[in-house]
């Protein structure tokens, strides 16, 4: 079965650079979530989209923005990168309207800011 | 705000049962989940339980939910070395718009 695809898997950037992370949800899933997991930490919710509209916002810095496109894939744009942005970034997708709200996670993008 | 707590480490011998515990604060939680994360890997959904259930069994996994005490546990029977990983408890509820709130994760170490 198709899973959530994230690209790239690894990304190395310098401070103050920009980065774009991509997420392709499971086919027919209409909701995408982004989470950030720092070293030794639990995943923290950043932002979510339902039917291409932002549905919820968590602890996402103003330097970050995201959107969901007409084909339901999503991109997380990160600017003015800081050392503290080094983390594993997960995308998850789900099908809204089902009570279980089961979120399936991608393998993540590991971002290293040097 | 909402909070989910787990103990950080658990060590068991191969073949024993493992019990990982989790407590949460949000009384509006509707579903509670267990995810497994191996080193450097993504989050794999293991199982979930609806808040009006008190037990769910799925092969070697048993989930117990005490809604009154807001306590969730995951029991892994006949634990194998391949079960060594970090296990995250997570909840979602009506007050949270679908996002998951995770616990800190319990690192399970299985010794041969």
Phi and psi at residue B96, in whole multiples of 5°? -115, 5
Q: B32: which strand partners?
A: B49, B91
pLDDT tens digits along B7-66 = 999 999 999 999 999 999 877 777 899 999 998 888 999 999 988 889 999 999 999 999
Q: Residue B30 has what pLDDT?
A: 78
Query: What pLDDT sits at residue B88?
Result: 96
Judged by CB atoms closer than 8 Å, whether chains meet at A107 and B103 is answered as: no
B82 interfacial to chain A (CB closer than 8 Å): no
Question: What confidence tens digit (pLDDT) does each residue in A82-103 have?
Answer: 999 999 999 999 987 666 678 9
Q: How many inter-chain contacts (A to B, CB under 8 Å) are there?
A: 63
User: Closest to B99 (Cβ–Cβ): which among A41, A58, A102?
Assistant: A58
What pLDDT does A93 receive?
94
For residue A90, the chain B residue with the least C-alpha distance is B42
A59 by Cβ neighbours in 10 Å (0-12 / 13-18 / 19+) ranks as exposed
Of A48, A90, A106, the CB nearest to B99: A48
Pairing mode, strands A74-78 and A64-68: antiparallel
Question: Pairing state of beta strands B106-111 and B9-13?
Answer: parallel
- Model confidence at A64, pLDDT cuts 50, 70, 90, reads very high
Contact B55, B72 (CB under 8 A): no
Tell me whether residues A101 and B97 touch, CB distance under 8 A.
no
pLDDT tens for residues B61-98? 999 999 999 999 999 999 999 999 999 999 987 666 67
Q: Could you tell me the CA-to-CA distances from A31 to B43, B69, B88 in Å, in that order?
A: 17, 32, 22
- CB of A56 less than 8 A from some CB of B: yes
């Amino acid at each position: 079965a198709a899973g959530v695809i994230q690209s790239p898997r690894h990304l190395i950037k310098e401070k103050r650079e920009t980065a774009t992370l991509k997420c392709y949800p499971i086919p027919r899933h209409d909701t995408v979530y982004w989470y950030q997991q720092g070293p030794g930490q639990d995943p923290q919710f950043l932002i979510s989209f339902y039917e291409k509209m932002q549905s919820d916002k968590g602890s996402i810095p103003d330097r970050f923005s995201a959107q969901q496109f007409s084909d339901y894939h999503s991109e997380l744009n990160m600017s003015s990168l800081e050392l503290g942005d080094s983390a594993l970034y997960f995308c998850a997708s789900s099908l809204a309207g089902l009570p279980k709200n089961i979120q399936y996670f991608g393998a993540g993008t590991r971002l290293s800011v040097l | 705000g909402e909070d989910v707590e787990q103990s950080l480490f658990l060590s068991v011998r191969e073949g024993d049962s493992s019990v990982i515990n989790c407590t949460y604060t949000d009384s509006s939680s509707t579903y509670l989940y267990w995810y497994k994360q191996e080193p450097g890997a993504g989050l794999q959904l293991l199982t979930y339980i609806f808040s009006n259930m008190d037990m769910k069994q799925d092969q070697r996994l048993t989930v117990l939910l005490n809604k009154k005490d807001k306590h969730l546990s995951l029991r892994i029977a006949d634990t194998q070395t391949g079960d060594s990983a970090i296990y995250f408890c997570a909840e979602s509820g009506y007050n949270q718009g679908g996002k998951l709130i995770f616990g800190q994760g319990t690192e399970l170490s299985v010794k041969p």
